[in-house]
Amino acid sequence: MTLEERRSWAFLAVAVVAYGVYLATVLARAASAPLVDVDYVPAMLWSIGSSIVAGIVLGIVLGIFTPRRDQPKDVRDRDIARLGERVGQSFLVVGGVAALLLSITEAPYFYIANVVYLCFVLSAVLGSVTRVVVYRRGF
């Protein structure tokens, strides 16, 4: 398994875990207050910040523990990375459009922020899943 494939698995895991923890935190707080009144901002910032840090740290750790022969990035890795980015971008567009519509309708900030964050996560997950599947099954 090349370093880039390992990193794809790592980014997928980080995105899922970070969002899962955020969702659990917000839903737990929503048990005692209406959803739109939940103080979601600190949890969201922690979730985004920790996923960025975890992604960087995991990338470095994987680089240290991956055999040297599996470390170089070649033309196939770049092709797969491009495909993953293209697939993931669809959700960024969906998130942007959803945030626009929510803003126009003057929806609470809670929904605007969360739909954007959800689409960021779905973009990362879809892009990572695409890369992992393509590494395994080919294209």
Partner 1 sequence: MVKATSVTNNIRALRAANGDITQASLAERIGVTRQTIIAIEQGRYSPSLEVAFQIAHVFGVPLDDVFHYGGSHS
Q: Rule CB under 8 A: which residues touch partner 1?
A: 1-2, 5, 69-70, 72, 74-77, 137-139
Minimal distance, residue 67 CB to partner 1, in Å? 10
C-alpha separations of 96 from 90, 103, 112, 115, 128 in Å:
10, 10, 10, 9, 20
| Lookup: tokens for 134 | 């393509």
Q: How far apart are CA 19 and CA 121, in angstroms?
A: 7
Other beta carbons within 10 Å of 108: 13
Closer residue to partner 1, CB minimum distance, 29 or 76: 76
Closer residue to partner 1, CB minimum distance, 43 or 77: 77
Minimal distance, residue 27 CB to partner 1, in Å? 39
Closer residue to partner 1, CB minimum distance, 109 or 139: 139
